A and B are shown apart, each in its own frame.
With several copies, the nearest count.
Chain A
């Protein structure tokens, strides 16, 4: 199982997305994951592809071609606004 998290405005756009994906044994990347969401969730995917959005795997920011493994937690992070 791979868990997906969407923060900030991405969370609003991802309300109908399945946040748990069965891991099918194939090597996948965050970039490929986003591509698979494109037909069903075009607005979300457009937002995910904005250049300032970061992706993390297991709470560490990674590149979009980072390999994913069973049990990983993938989070999509828009620009932060705390403080």
Chain B
């Protein structure tokens, strides 16, 4: 097992992460990657009509606590499903639309585990890891509110242990 967790301002390169994940064992049958991008608009609430043009997105985090919480999320995923490698990269600082913001990559023997782990880690990253987003919408700075849909997404893993 190889777990890599990075919280960084620098951008990341999907191809490098993929190559690194693949290289670890010849037993890998499945590689799942999730990449989150900064959209050019932001819905400030769950209201689908509230979208506004986004100029920049600034991510703050709690250094030290964030990395530990991500490690806990990955550990919990690996207690449920087996994998060969998990890489999590989350960017912080000021980002612009279309930039990469978060990466989760998982290698496993069979596809189901890799999909489940990637989805589980993303759901919990959104609801447990100490990141806060501030948006600049046409010059107006505003902290993003937590989304009910994210809380619901994380809750599904506890409601249905078969998932």
Interfacial residues, chain A to chain B (CB-CB below 8 A): 5, 7-9, 11-12, 52, 56, 59, 75, 77-83
List residues 102-134 of chain B with CB under 8 A from any CB of chain A: 102, 122, 125-134
The count of chain B contact residues (Cβ–Cβ below 8 Å) is: 28
Closest A residue to B153 by CB, please name it.
A83
Q: Are A80 and B129 in contact (CB under 8 A)?
A: yes
Q: Are B133 and A82 in touch, CB under 8 angstroms?
A: yes
Cβ of B145 and Cβ of A7 under 8 Å apart? no
Do B146 and A82 touch across chains, with their CB atoms under 8 A apart? no
Cβ-defined contact, A59 with B68, below 8 A: yes
Instruction: Write the residues of chain B forming the contact surface with A, with a CB cutoff of 8 angstroms.
Output: 36, 59-62, 64-65, 68, 90, 101-102, 122, 125-134, 143-147, 150
Tell me whether chain B's interface is mostly helix, strand or loop, or mixed. mixed
Q: How far is the CB of A59 from chain B (nearest CB, A)?
A: 4
Task: Decide if B65 touches A56 in the complex (CB within 8 Å).
Answer: yes
Query: Complex: how many Å from CA A16 to CA B48?
Result: 36
Query: What does DSSP make chain A's interface, helix, strand, loop or mixed?
Result: loop
Assess the B60–A7 pair: CB atoms within 8 A.
yes
Given contacts A8-B60, A9-B143, A52-B146, contact A82 B131 (CB under 8 A): yes
Taken together as a complex, chains A and B put the C-alpha atoms of A7 and B132 apart, in Å, by 8
A36 to B98, alpha carbons, bound, how many Å? 44
